[in-house]
């Protein structure tokens, strides 16, 4: 590859939500922006998390110079530990982002100590031919960065996840001046967040949530239980400030909520008033009207604190009829069923549930709406534009928006999905050769175990057709079956329905044994395959179903 080519290589996060990971390559040098994860959909049975396939980076490991993290959300840092297992390169991020990464790394046994480097807005990172400037942006998690990436061919601006909050909680405004400065300098390529391209107008400030929360604090007669994303440090600040004003104590429930509140407080990002914290074990001992609980689990995750509270299975909190539960978070597409199921369980406890759209809002997005996206485009005026972070329809819509807003400045907009590449050289920009991408499934209960496609397929097979277990006892001296085979099944047919079928199935297995030679009967591998084949043919003919058949041969 010529040194004059610049490659933009998305390994995840384009055409999908989650698994954000983008490589930028010039010659023999690569930098990587973010290494996220996504939660699995219902089809990926038993899978805990899904991460990008880092094969391309591993194949070019000697060229990878740095991993740069834009912010601390799981869809941007959740795959860092798996990345570092294969590529121990320097990692750059803000203090909060790295603290969240370190907490994650504690769960993993890395062979080498990670090289974590803290950066602040205004800092520059030197990595091969790249000089990366960190730019402060506002988002739903504090300490978020955009990146100005200077390359031998020109300046690339990566917005990261952002919204333009003009009244941020920490009074540190979005750095519009830097984006305008880049625009005056000349920008080769803009990579911009597409999440809310469907939403007109401006995204409301985090401060817009306070009036609704104030009203809920006044209205709540019993315990006030507020579920929000644990990473929403500014939302936690609202909860603490209003609790102090209303005379309530605050308890944090949920592993992530406890972890993030502790980290944020230690870094000076979360101010906790004196004498306001309540130990989880004391929640039920304090008068209900004096208690506020900040709890994780807004998306109805099965083992989350909020989900356990909803079914009255949490050791520290039990809901009562006068209590109020507030879901201060958006319903992420695809999570509707578990969330509404959780809300129904809360309603059965007799508690009031507050959720959804309302004015003033109980939740505001962390992503830019159309008018903010237009503003960034107008300020930056890039030569080329590539939307990132969104499903395909959103990428297409953002590309059209760019043409409408600054079409005269943009030579071309590129809608690129994960695995496709954008190649820029002195002659211009075009789509390049695709690279290896995919999803790597990590199994529940083990941070090491990668679940193969075959395992997922077997799990789906079991869930649809169940399994049948023929158990055959064979005399090791004669090679003959002592009795009729036994057959155990689960998820296939009820015992009543299957009694006649199973009798016939036992006869099928017995005939297979009788019709096999003495030599075959002594080779268990051959016998298992013969029994599996004959039984599968019989069951499929009788029921049109294909359960998983696993013959067990016992030597007696």
Closest CA relative to residue 498, chosen from 507, 483, 488: 488
493 touches 543 (CB < 8 A): yes
Sequence-distant (6+) residues with CB within 8 A of 344 are none
Sequence-distant (6+) residues with CB within 8 A of 246 are 217, 218
Q: What is the spatial distance between Cα 235 and Cα 294, in angstroms, rounded to a whole number?
A: 10
Q: Which helix (H) or strand (E) holds 174?
A: none
Mind telling me the catalytic residues?
193, 367
Q: What is the spatial distance between Cα 117 and Cα 95, in angstroms, rounded to a whole number?
A: 9
213 touches 242 (CB < 8 A): yes
> For residue 431, what are the β-bridge partners?
422
The pair of structure tokens assigned to 480 is 């003959």
Q: What is the spatial distance between Cα 62 and Cα 20, in angstroms, rounded to a whole number?
A: 22
Q: What is the spatial distance between Cα 359 and Cα 146, in angstroms, rounded to a whole number?
A: 30
Strands 64-68, 384-388: pairing kind? unpaired
Outline where 423-472 has alpha helix (H): 453-465
Query: How many residues does the structure list for the chain?
Result: 556
Q: Could you list the beta-strand ranges (E) of 189-323.
A: 189-193, 224-227, 249-253, 291-295
Q: What is the spatial distance between Cα 338 and Cα 303, in angstroms, rounded to a whole number?
A: 12
Q: Which helix (H) or strand (E) holds 525?
A: helix 524-543
> 550 phi and psi, to 5 degrees?
-130, 90
DSSP 286: S
Closest CA relative to residue 125, chosen from 205, 31, 17, 35: 31
Its sign, for the CA torsion 246, 249, 251, 257, is: positive
């Amino acid at each position: 590859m010529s040194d004059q080519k610049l490659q933009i290589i998305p390994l995840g996060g384009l055409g999908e939500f989650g698994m954000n990971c983008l490589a930028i390559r010039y010659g023999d040098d690569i930098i990587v922006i973010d290494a996220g994860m996504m939660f699995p959909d219902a089809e990926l049975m038993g899978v805990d998390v899904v991460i990008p396939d880092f094969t391309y980076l591993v194949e070019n490991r000697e060229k990878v110079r740095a991993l740069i993290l834009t912010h601390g959300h799981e869809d941007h840092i959740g795959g860092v530990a798996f990345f570092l297992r294969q590529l121990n390169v320097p990692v750059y991020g803000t203090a909060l982002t790295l603290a969240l990464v370190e907490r994650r790394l504690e769960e993993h046994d890395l062979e080498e100590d990670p090289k974590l480097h803290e950066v602040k807005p205004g800092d520059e990172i030197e990595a091969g031919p790249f000089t990366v400037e960190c730019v402060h942006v506002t988002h739903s998690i504090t300490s978020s960065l955009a990146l100005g990436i200077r390359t031998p061919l020109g300046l690339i601006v990566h917005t990261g996840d952002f919204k333009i909050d003009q009244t941020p909680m920490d009074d540190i405004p979005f750095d519009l001046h830097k984006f305008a400065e880049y625009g005056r300098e000349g920008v080769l390529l803009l990579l911009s967040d597409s999440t809310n391209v469907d939403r007109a107008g401006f995204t409301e400030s985090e401060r817009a949530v306070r009036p609704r929360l104030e009203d809920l604090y006044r209205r709540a007669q019993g315990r006030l239980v507020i579920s929000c994303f644990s990473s929403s440090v500014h939302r936690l600040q609202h909860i603490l400030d209003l609790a102090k004003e209303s005379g309530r104590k605050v308890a944090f429930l949920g592993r992530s909520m406890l972890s993030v509140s502790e980290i944020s407080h230690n870094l000076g990002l979360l101010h906790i008033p004196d004498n306001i914290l309540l130990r989880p074990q004391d929640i039920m001992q304090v008068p209900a009207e004096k208690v506020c609980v900040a709890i994780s689990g807004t998306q109805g995750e099965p083992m989350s604190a909020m989900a356990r509270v909803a079914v009255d299975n949490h050791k520290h909190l039990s809901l009562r009829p006068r209590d109020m539960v507030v879901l201060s978070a958006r319903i992420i597409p695809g999570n509707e069923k578990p969330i509404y199921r959780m809300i129904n369980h809360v309603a059965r406890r007799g508690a009031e549930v507050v959720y959804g759209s309302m004015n003033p809002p109980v939740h505001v997005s962390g992503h830019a709406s159309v008018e903010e996206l237009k503003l960034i485009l107008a300020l930056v005026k890039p030569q080329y534009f590539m939307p990132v972070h969104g499903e395909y329809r959103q990428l297409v819509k953002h590309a059209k928006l760019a043409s409408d807003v600054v079409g005269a400045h943009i030579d071309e907009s590129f809608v690129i999905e994960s695995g496709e590449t954008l190649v820029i050289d002195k002659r211009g920009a075009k789509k390049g050769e695709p690279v290896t991408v995919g999803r790597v499934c990590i199994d529940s209960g083990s941070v090491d175990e990668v679940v193969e496609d075959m395992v997922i397929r077997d799990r789906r097979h079991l869930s649809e057709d169940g399994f049948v277990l023929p158990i055959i006892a064979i005399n090791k001296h004669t090679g003959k079956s002592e009795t009729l085979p036994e057959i155990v099944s689960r998820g296939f047919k009820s015992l009543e329905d299957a009694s006649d079928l199973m009798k016939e199935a036992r006869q099928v297995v017995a005939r297979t044994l009788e019709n096999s030679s003495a030599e075959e009967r002594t080779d268990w591998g051959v016998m298992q395959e013969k029994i599996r084949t004959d039984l599968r043919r019989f069951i499929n003919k009788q029921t049109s179903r294909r359960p998983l058949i696993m013959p067990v041969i016992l030597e007696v």
